[in-house]
Amino acid sequence: MLIRKPPAIPNSEITPEQIYRDRRRFMTAGAAGLATAALSPILQAGLQPDDTVTPESIVTQYNNFYEFGTDKSDPAAYAHEMTTDPWTVTVSGEANKTGEFAFEDIIKGLDVEERIYRFRCVEAWSMVVPWMGIPLKDVLAQFEPTGNAKFVEFETLYRPDEMRGQRGFFSSIDWPYVEGLRLDEAYHPLTLMVTGLYGKELPNQNGAPWRLMVPWKYGFKSIKSIVSIRFTEREPVNTWKQLQASEYGFYANVNPKVSHPRWSQASERRLPNSLFSSNRMPTLMFNGYEEEVGHLYAGMDLRKYY
């Protein structure tokens, strides 16, 4: 095998395997501005042998963040208008410790880890992204959810002054953007509260200062720029389900066998694609994380709970 020095290899050609081998490069990147960058075995979960990390320029310039517009280029163009410091998070519902918290106080003392995840949008494109983040379980446990908490609901910032998509007269979304997880999904070790990517602070267009990342679910579950965490007994009503329940459900697990009513989910377009290659590849059950998360849905009819 031909071994080239990392600078000679464009990011798009680096396989996750090469990245694990070159931990120094990764640790150096990860250490910037972070107290801890722990590497754990779970890093490798789900990744397929020929997965390559998507170039940073694609990850940060091809986005869905409807608060800034519906074009893929809108978030990179306009998300800088959002103020992310100071950032306050309201914690409410079925937990012992509720109230308003400064973002820094919530994450203080929690370890930030590097995780390379496959990322699949319901629109049938996908990427592989090196995220930095904190296991969501560690974030949530400090609020001591009560025995009644069965779900957790999140809300994105609502600030039309700074989020031009929320001012839109034509927007059919009932802001703020809402998402939720069952508590056992939220506590799964793969579920991450993301605070960075490519070893850097999270760019606004990717959901600064923190956003969810649930790698076995369609991207719309991974809500950005979170300002509210609520522990509930009942299943939250998430934005896309509220908008079109026949097309988008609460679970939104990646599943090649359950088509979207308007397109197949059996394959996906791995970005970047070019004039010469559409980079289509088969979609994997639970986006490749079946071994890790399949048990969460044992006995459930995934056609019904889509």
Closest contact distance (angstroms) between CB of 179 and ligand MTE is: 7
Contact of residue 78 among Mo ion, ligand MTE, none (CB under 5-8 Å per partner type): none
Residue 69 interacts with Mo ion (CB under 5 A)? Answer: no
Give CA–CA dist 104/210, Å, rounded: 11
15 or 61: CB nearest ligand MTE: 61
Question: Cis omega (within 30 of 0) on the bond before 86?
Answer: yes
What number of CA atoms fall less than 13 Å from residue 238's CA on the CB side?
A: 24
Closest approach of ligand MTE to the CB of residue 168, in Å: 12
Cβ-based nearer residue to ligand MTE, 96 or 172: 172
Q: Kindly report the three-state secondary structure assignment for every residue of the chain.
A: CCCCCHHHCCHHHCCHHHHHHCHHHHHHHHHCCCCCEECCHHHHCCCCCCCCCCCHHHHCCCCCCHHHCCCCCHHHHHHHHCCCCCCEEEEEECECCCEEEEHHHHHCCCCEEEEEEEEECCCCEEEEEEEEEEEHHHHHHCCCECCCCCEEEEEECCCCCCCHHHHCCCCCCCCCCEEEEEHHHHCCCCCEEEEEECCEECCHHHCCCCEEECCCECHHHCCCCEEEEEEECCCCCCHHHHHCCCCCCCCCECCCCCCECCECCCEEEECCCCCCCCCEEECCHHHHCHHHHHHHHCCCCCCCCC
**Nearest residue (CB) to ligand MTE, 101 versus 220:** 220
84, 206, 265, 283: which one binds ligand MTE (CB under 6 A): 206
Choose between 64 and 253: whose C-beta lies nearer to ligand MTE: 64
For Mo ion, which residue of 176, 219, 236, 288 counts as binding (CB under 5 A)? 219
According to the binding rule CB under 6 A, does residue 223 interact with ligand MTE? yes
Binding positions for Mo ion, 100-129, rule CB under 5 A: 121
Q: Which is nearer to Mo ion, 43 or 223 (CB)?
A: 223
18-26, 220-228, 269-277, 280-288 -> range binding ligand MTE (CB under 6 A):
220-228
Q: What angle do CA 158, 178, 111 make, to 5 degrees?
A: 90
Of 166, 222, 238, 253, the one binding ligand MTE (CB under 6 A) is 222
Out of 118, 224, 230, 270, the residue judged to bind ligand MTE by CB under 6 A: 224
- Applying the rule CB under 6 A, the residues between 79 and 118 that interact with ligand MTE are none
**Given candidates 87, 210, 220, 306, which one binds ligand MTE under the rule CB under 6 A?**
220
Among the listed ranges 26-34, 181-189, 214-222, 275-283, the one in contact with Mo ion (CB under 5 A) is: 214-222
66 touching ligand MTE, by CB under 6 A: yes
- First and final CA of the chain: distance in angstroms? 43
Number of residues that bind ligand MTE (CB under 6 A): 14
Residue 19 sits in the site that holds Mo ion (CB under 5 A) = no
Binding residues for ligand MTE, rule: CB under 6 A, are 63-67, 121, 156, 177, 206, 219-220, 222-224
User: Contact residues for Mo ion (CB under 5 A)?
Assistant: 64, 121, 219-220
